Amino acid sequence: MLAIAIAASAWIGEVSIARLVRGLPLAADYIAGTLPRLRLDHFLADLAYWMWGFADWALLLADTLLIAYVGTVLGGLVALLLSFPAATTLAPPWIVTIIRRALELMRTVPTLVLALIFVYAFGLGAFAGMLAIAVHTAGSLGKLFAEEHENASLTQMEAVRAAGGTWAAQMRFGIFPQSLPGVLSYGLLRFEINVREASVLGIVGAGGIGEELYLAVRQFEYQDISAILVLILVTVTAIDLLCGRLRRSILGAAI
């Protein structure tokens, strides 16, 4: 059955071994063309030539980080508000169904498609990218936060209710303190993902370093492509390491 499934997938996907063999050398040539020429005896000069646009690219990277940060914060807040009525242990089934379908819709539409919609609605720039990140983040984190709430003990919530607390107070003081470590961990993980997402939103005009990368690709500025990719890689790696340390400090255990 596995062989049949693989064969069917290859047929439907129009997989061609001959095309793959012909294309691999071309892909290798393209990658080789983007690599800079760094000579030991002229290293600093070659590096300066390769990174000629560093100042402008750094500003665009800062825009990318801000798009990811603001989008993560706004989307995370929406996700947190919707996660309580989306938890099966905390709300009536009909409310859970409505909220969960809304969250599914928000995370089903790809971020690039959302960015295209918001670029059409609000024009080119970082605002459209931030909204796209926020909507997709709300849909993704809303589900994860709801599952964290479902794992929480209901004892504290019942104690708040017995003291006369409203439903909102029960969520705030009975459920949320138990879910907080998981909520923060998922939020930081999502920020890492959103930094990578925001790096390519410029392709559709939604701001950030992706727009410059797309321009370099279209204009066949091969060494600019590798320079921008290296800057993105270093930035994303630094964010990943920082968020990993924050998660370990929050949870008090190695991740």
Task: Note whether residue 178 is domain-resident.
Answer: yes
CA distances from 233 to 69, 109, 114 (A): 17, 26, 24
Domain containing 175 equals: 55-251
Task: Note whether residue 130 is domain-resident.
Answer: yes
Task: Note whether residue 7 is domain-resident.
Answer: no
Check residue 251 and give its pLDDT: 67
Task: Note whether residue 102 is domain-resident.
Answer: yes
CA-CA distance, 76 to 149, in Å (whole number)?
Answer: 15
Task: Note whether residue 203 is domain-resident.
Answer: yes
- Domain containing residue 83: CATH number: 1.10.3720.10
Q: With pLDDT > 70 as the criterion, what percentage of the chain qualifies?
A: 98
Task: Note whether residue 220 is domain-resident.
Answer: yes
* Confidence tier at 255 by pLDDT (50, 70, 90): very low
Number of domains forming the structure of the chain: 1
Check residue 98 and give its pLDDT: 94
- Write the DSSP string, 137-185: HHHHHHHHHHHHHHTS-SHHHHHHHHTT--HHHHIIIIIHHHHHHHHHH
Judge residue 228's burial from the number of C-beta atoms within 10 Å of its C-beta, 0-12 exposed, 13-18 middle, 19 or more buried: buried
Task: Note whether residue 180 is domain-resident.
Answer: yes
Task: Note whether residue 48 is domain-resident.
Answer: no
Name the DSSP class of 122: H
